[in-house]
A = this chain, B = another copy of it.
């Protein structure tokens, strides 16, 4: 957990300077709405009124989940591996959006079931062949947790650019995310559980029943470490680490959707200072995301009903981060442009 100690508290000493710089731009006060608060956040992290936001890397963490055997997902477990191959072939939504926006993708095998995938384009950081079945036992050992988290920290530290977008793939990981969020907040499983990739109402009822039984194994609230060991996924623990590592390097962390927000909950519980580095890309179409966002007092940028994961929401939000930084660095002030102020 060294990364947690290395995350610098984002200072408020420049807040007035940054606010004045935003207010001096040639636009009515506050007329760029949420983009102004986003610009403020970026300027605060970078400690300048001329922030830059020109490079971002998306890291997609993939792994499998033992709890998938209980039919908590609409898709078979094999899809995790198949989608990793799709990422490597460039055919997935994350590839298409990343290419469009000039964002590099790094795909990490954090523990996909089956034999290792042989590809020079895949970063292999396999913690195991999927987690254990958390209905009956912890999803991972202490050693696996520590390894996944620290590998994630390193990945987060090393990612290039001023922002790190983080995505995931893992059949049944919405079940894992719901359990982690349940153990880290006061929200009920019913408030946190959604249909994932497309369960029908009977499927959702089954999912909530299975997760309720899994939750009963442990006390109502857990520490972030306990919650991740008992119910996390290799990919989501690694993503939590990557959030800490990116924040430790002063990067903006672009939190994708439902699954990524559960990792953000854990990251903030482990290291509260990382909260100030986080931008929440979008409000997911997955029921339960609202409750998680509330716990983090997070206002997402986009409201498009996305529920795909892979970092796709983070990629769609990336141009807004660029625009926010460009506003501060590129727009003229009233004085510079000789434009009159209000009457």
Contacts and interface: CB of A to CB of B under 8 A. Distances in A.
A327 B26 contact: no
Contacts of A315: 323
Contacts of A75: 28, 340-343
Contact of A31 (B89, B301, B307, B339): B307
A292 to B, nearest CB: 18
Contacts of A29: 198
Copies of this chain present:
2
Interface residues of A, number: 64
A312 B28 contact: no
A196 B342 CA distance: 12
A33, A78, A79: most-surrounded residue (chain B CB, <10 A): A33
A83 B331 contact: no
B327 A96 contact: yes
Max chain B CB contacts within 10 Å: which of A28, A76, A197, A322? A28
Interface of A: 25-35, 71, 73-76, 78-79, 82-83, 85-86, 89, 91-93, 95-97, 99-101, 196-198, 285, 301-308, 312, 315-316, 319-320, 322-323, 326-327, 330-332, 336-343
8 contacts: A27-B308, A31-B306, A71-B343, A76-B343, A91-B337, A96-B326, A96-B331, A315-B323
